[in-house]
């Protein structure tokens, strides 16, 4: 593990480690992510200030080790995840919304036949934009980089709190959820192990009374995660409901337009018939785009998962109330780590199927 004075630290190894080509490629991508020293240092400072304070009573030496040996890698992984999540989501929004607009461009020729050349040119431009957006996002590995970096970020979050309390992280069975087929995901676990390897040996609660450590975990980890998952569940549930209503509304309007189109076609009223023809073509496409965005973002499943996670975290939080000895704190922390890892692997499995593709 090494770093430099000019660049944020990167994962590195001594000698020739026996890793697969996919693992080495994954580590290279992680190290190659460009982040300025100023942005990195500000991110680390904000993380440190959010995690620790004079009132927590934790040993200053321990907090400085976290700052120097864990937070820089957490910052790199988190920034990498956020960057590619933004690219992935924007590309998905372009793919679904522009597909509907392309249909609308063609359908507009029903209203004004004279604009046909311009409408078809617009359709072509929209379809090419979709293709470029998807090809670019896939070339940048937006989907994979996002979920892989987020996986590493969340594992490092657990490590921060475990180390701060003097508790060794549990050994976990890699790919218990994702299977052995995609070995490119192994790099996240290798990186995590290497980051752990450069940390000093630990003793539970650093040979100090464990009450302040239990209070620190509850206030800075458990309660914040409960708030995060509650907020995430609420936001996802609202977005899912709004998109459901929008999709249903567009579908209902399409039915009305089709019915009116049938009526006006029998009495041969030209302009209402053209408008209704446009609506009958465009509205179902718009409804499908809304449904595609809702499915692509997995709002419904994420709302359920975050709601369940908040309940599980509350149960864990109550267990900290009875902690009195270092071994008890270690036991509950390992249970919390196990819960976090299971939730993380479930999320990884769910999002691994939400790949970026052109809307049909």
Which pLDDT value is given to residue 12?
72
Q: Is the per-residue pLDDT at 179 higher than 70?
A: no
Angle CA(214)–CA(337)–CA(340) in degrees, nearest 5?
A: 115
Beta bridge partners of 2: 10
- In a domain, residue 261? The reply is yes
- In a domain, residue 92? The reply is yes
Report the predicted TM-score, pTM, of the whole model to 2 decimal places.
Answer: 0.85
Report residue 275's pLDDT band, with 50, 70 and 90 as the boundaries: confident
- In a domain, residue 7? The reply is no
- In a domain, residue 138? The reply is yes
- In a domain, residue 1? The reply is no
| Long-range contacts, stretch 47-52, CB < 8 angstroms, 24+ apart | 47/71, 47/74, 47/75, 51/160, 51/220, 52/220
Q: Could you tell me the two tokens for 40?
A: 């990195």
Handedness of CA 310, 314, 316, 317 (dihedral sign): positive
Which pLDDT value is given to residue 13?
67
- In a domain, residue 303? The reply is yes
- In a domain, residue 3? The reply is no
Residue 234 has phi, psi (to 5 degrees) of -65, -45
Q: Is the per-residue pLDDT at 313 higher than 90?
A: yes
Q: Could you tell me where the DSSP H helices lie in the chain?
A: 21-32, 37-51, 60-69, 71-107, 116-139, 142-164, 186-197, 211-217, 223-267, 270-297, 299-320, 326-352
- In a domain, residue 6? The reply is no
| High-pLDDT (> 90) share of the chain, % | 57
pLDDT tens digit string along 188-228?
988 999 999 899 987 888 888 888 999 999 999 999 999 99
Calculate mean pLDDT across residues 231-248.
Answer: 94
Which pLDDT value is given to residue 176?
42
272 vs 123, which has greater pLDDT?
Answer: 123
Q: Is the per-residue pLDDT at 266 higher than 90?
A: no
Mean pLDDT for the chain overall? 87
325 vs 25: CA distance, rounded Å = 44
Q: How many domains does the chain have?
A: 1
Poorest-pLDDT segment among 183-187, 229-233, 296-300: 183-187
Which pLDDT value is given to residue 276?
83
- The boundaries of the domain holding residue 183 are 21-352
pLDDT tens digit string along 21-52?
888 888 888 999 988 889 999 999 999 999 99
Report residue 16's pLDDT band, with 50, 70 and 90 as the boundaries: low
Which pLDDT value is given to residue 4?
40
């Amino acid at each position: 593990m090494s770093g430099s004075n000019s660049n944020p630290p990167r994962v590195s190894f001594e000698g020739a480690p026996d890793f697969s080509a996919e693992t080495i490629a994954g580590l290279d991508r992680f190290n190659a992510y460009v982040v300025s020293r100023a942005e990195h240092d500000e991110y680390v400072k904000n993380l440190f200030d959010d995690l620790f304070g004079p009132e927590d009573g934790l040993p200053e030496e321990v907090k400085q080790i976290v700052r120097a040996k864990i937070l820089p890698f957490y910052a790199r992984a988190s920034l990498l995840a956020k960057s590619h999540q933004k690219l992935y989501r924007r590309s998905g929004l372009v793919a679904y919304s522009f597909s509907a607009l392309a249909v609308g461009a063609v359908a507009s020729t029903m209203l004004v036949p004279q604009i046909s050349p311009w409408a078809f040119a617009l359709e072509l431009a929209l379809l090419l934009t979709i293709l470029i957006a998807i090809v670019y996002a896939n070339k940048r590995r937006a989907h994979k980089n996002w979920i892989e970096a987020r996986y590493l970020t969340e594992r490092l979050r657990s490590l921060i709190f475990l180390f701060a309390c003097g508790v060794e992280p549990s050994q976990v069975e890699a790919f218990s959820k994702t299977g052995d087929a995609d070995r490119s995901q192994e790099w996240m676990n290798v990186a995590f192990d290497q980051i752990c390897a450069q940390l000093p040996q630990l003793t539970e609660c650093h040979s100090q009374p464990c009450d302040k450590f239990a209070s620190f975990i509850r206030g800075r980890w458990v309660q914040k995660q409960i708030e995060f998952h509650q907020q995430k569940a609420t936001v996802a549930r609202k977005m899912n409901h709004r998109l459901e209503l929008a999709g249903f509304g567009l579908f209902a309007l399409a039915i009305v337009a089709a019915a009116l189109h049938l009526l006006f076609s029998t009495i041969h009223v030209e302009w209402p018939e053209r408008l209704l023809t446009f609506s009958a073509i465009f509205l179902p496409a718009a409804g499908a785009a809304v449904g595609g965005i809702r499915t692509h973002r997995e709002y419904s499943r994420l709302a359920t998962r975050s709601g369940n996670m908040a309940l599980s975290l509350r149960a864990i939080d109550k267990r900290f109330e009875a902690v009195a000895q270092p071994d008890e704190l270690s036991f509950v922390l390992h249970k919390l780590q196990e819960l976090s890892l299971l939730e993380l692997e479930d999320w990884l499995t769910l999002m691994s199927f939400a790949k970026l593709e052109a809307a049909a």
